[in-house]
Amino acid sequence: MIAMLSSCGTDEYMNAAKLAAEAVGAKTYEVSSEHSTSSDPKKTIKLTLHNPELISKEYSSETIISTSALIFYKNLAATDLKDNPAIAIELLRDGKTENKIYYNDELKIADDATSRVADFLSWNPAEGVGGISSLVDNEYIPDSALTIFGERMMNVEKQSGKIIKTMILGFKKETVTDQNIPVLAILASAQRENLREMFTFYVSTKNGRIISVSV
């Protein structure tokens, strides 16, 4: 049972905090809304997570923080997003405190990007590249590269079974240095019947399309 130490906001506000905490296994959490300055009517939502258990040992603090921020954002009501233009995540883990602030426009970009990644991972390569070509930037990932990637996925499926569950495991801002393209690097996992694969998708923040995938 998750313990709520403080509360405020709409029912959606409280449920969003609960879902974000559950996603990373934080049984204890606090949520509040604070003015950034005394003269600013807008507020920042702060979610404090205490010693998340589910993924704390396997994944980095950055993964835990960004994952919880995105889930919190996705489940907030429109009124809460309007009144609170930023989300602050405080992670208390192993005696250390880490903080990160995300603005809602950043999280909107991340939400759209992770949706593209989820659609990509649900692709059935046997149906061809037509249904997935629009998710990628064809300048960097032409249909020929998608065909090769699809053949790889079908070979892995023969050996390790179909994908039965996918998860988005956080994001961070990066730059593809050789082209100087700002991207979101999105970590994702695909659980097959006999194998778990880890992927990093690089999604352009300029056009929202996937420009690279590493396995």
**Residue ranges in the chain whose pLDDT is less than 50:** 1-7
Residue 30: predicted pLDDT: 87
| pLDDT value for 84 | 83
Q: Domain containing 185: what range? A: 109-214
pLDDT of 95 reads 84
Does residue 76 share a domain with residue 173?
no
Q: What are the backbone angles phi and psi of residue 166, rounded to the nearest 5°?
A: -120, 150
- The tens digit of pLDDT for each residue in 22-42 reads 988 888 888 887 755 555 556
* Shared-domain flag, residues 66 and 127: no
In a shared domain, residues 74 and 147: no
For residues 66 and 117, state if they share a domain. Answer: no
pLDDT of amino acid 154? 94
Hey, what amino acid is at 30? Answer: E
Beta-carbon contacts of residue 187 (< 8 Å; ≥ 6 apart) = 63, 168, 169, 170, 171, 198, 199, 200
What's the pLDDT at 1? 35
122 is a domain residue: yes
How high is the pLDDT of residue 164?
92
* Sign (positive or negative) of CA dihedral 53, 102, 75, 187: negative
pTM for the complete prediction?
Answer: 0.85
